[in-house]
Amino acid sequence: MTDITADAAGGSAPAPAKRSRLGRIVRRHPMMVAGGVILVTMAVVAAAAPLLAPHDPIELNVVDRLRPPDEDYLLGTDAYGRDMLSRMLYGARVSLIVGLAVALLSTVLGLLIGVIAGYYRLADAILMRIMDGLMAIPGILLAIALMALTRASIEVVILAITIPEVPRVVRLVRAVVLSIREQTYVQAAIAIGTRFPRLMLKHILPNTVAPLVVQATYIFAHAVLVEAYLSFLGVGTPPEIPSWGNIIAEGRLYVQIAFWQVLFPGLALAVMVLSINVLGDGLRDMLDPKMSRRS
């Protein structure tokens, strides 16, 4: 190591630059990629449920009730003799639809309210008081109460889970908007008379994308869990729809003689939520270099 310069300047420097961007992401965030792959696989399987399901998920078949897993029914049957595997394949659809819809809806609503609050001082005072109040009500409790409003349906479930999530997004967006407003280039844009919609599209939205994507991922994971909790408690997705929460709610009565009714949908739920959370952690590390350098 006499030639010191070569050690510092040469070495392994050029090699990583040649690798592809995708390969670099896989190498640096293997857990995130694994989470994403599992999630996408689950989504594809859920979409193909009608093709993949070996049995009808709804039709009753009392002869085969509470059958343990075997070659006919890979994951056993429930108390009505319905195939667990088929019901779970359809259940994945409910979880994904609810999770995705809640993530999108709360992000859009939160973005809208957050930008208004961050931009207009007067609206800010009022909107943030309302958000503080909403955040003072524990989320699941608020969702449960909202479920009592009207007849249960998937749409109502989505709305009931979305509303408690909105304030968190609003706070996030507002904080970003407030900090960006103070930037010199935005002040300059305001000074030369840039109109609000343009200001918003050019300067504000691009800066909210990264934190919003991360937040939306976590909301997705949480919404999947809350949907299952609501259904499990009997106040969520209508019982005739085979959601994982509903399957578990029915299965819990027989948990001591037919554990598979709780175990399999519970595990599926855990795997889905885990894959989304891991994806979120990876996105956070990737999109927020400050955070990842620390960890």
Partner 1 sequence: MWGYLIRRILAVIPVMTVVAVVVFLILHLNPDDPAAIIAGDQATAADIENIRRQLGLDRPVYIQFFEWVARLVRGDLGSSIFLERPVLHLILERVEPTLALAISTTIFSVVLALPLGVLAAWKAGSWIDQAIMAVAVLAFSFPVFLIGYGLVQGLALEWDLLPVQGFVSITEDPSRFLAHLVLPTIALGLVYTALLARMTRSTMLEILNEDYIRTARAKGLANPRVLLIHALKNAAVPIVTTIGVGIALLIGGVVVTESVFAIPGVGRLTIDAVLHRDYPVIQGVILVVSGFYVLINLLIDLTYTVFDPRIRY
Partner 2 sequence: MSNANVSAGAPPPAGTPLLSVRGLETRFFDDGMALKAVDGLSFDVARGETLCIVGESGCGKSVSALSVMRLLPPPPASRVDGTILLEGQDIRALSEREMRRVRGNSISMIFQEPMTSLNPVVTVGYQIAEAVRQHEGKSWAEGFERAVEMLRLVRIPEPERRVKEYPHQLSGGMRQRVMIAMALACRPRVLLADEPTTALDVTIQAQILELMRELQEETGTAIVLITHDLGVVAEMAHRVVVMYAGRKVEEASVGDLFERPCHPYTVGLMGSIPELGSSLVEGKGPRRLAEIPGIVPSLRAMPAGCRFAPRCPLATDRCRTEMPPLEEHRPRHWSACWHWERAQEAIHVHA
Query: How far is the C-alpha of 160 from the C-alpha of 227, rounded, in Å?
Result: 10
Q: Is 242 in the site for partner 1 (CB under 8 A)?
A: no
The phi, psi pair for 200, rounded to 5°, reads -60, -50
Q: Which does 266 bind (CB under 5 to 8 A by kind): partner 2, partner 1, none?
A: partner 1
Among 147, 154, 212, 283, binds partner 1 (CB under 8 A): 147
Among 274, 286, 287, 292, binds partner 1 (CB under 8 A): 274
Among 135, 175, 189, 287, binds partner 1 (CB under 8 A): 135
Listed in sequence order, the DSSP H helices in the chain are 4-9, 14-18, 21-28, 30-47, 49-52, 84-119, 121-135, 139-147, 154-181, 184-191, 196-199, 205-233, 244-251, 260-287, 289-294
| Residue written as token pair 């009392």 | 62
Q: Which residues, 199 to 218, sit near partner 1 by CB under 8 A? A: none
Q: Is 220 in the site for partner 1 (CB under 8 A)?
A: no
| Binding mask of the shown chain, residues 14 to 53, with x at each position contacting partner 2 by CB under 8 A | --x-------------------------------------
Burial 113-130 (b: 16+ CB within 10 A, else e): bbbbbbbeeeebeebbee
CB of 294 to partner 1, least distance (A): 5
Query: How far is the C-alpha of 86 from the C-alpha of 73, rounded, in Å?
Result: 9
Q: Is 191 in the site for partner 2 (CB under 8 A)?
A: no
Cβ proximity to partner 2: between 5 and 256 the closer is 5
Q: Report the interface residues with partner 2, using CB under 8 A.
A: 4-5, 7-9, 11-13, 16
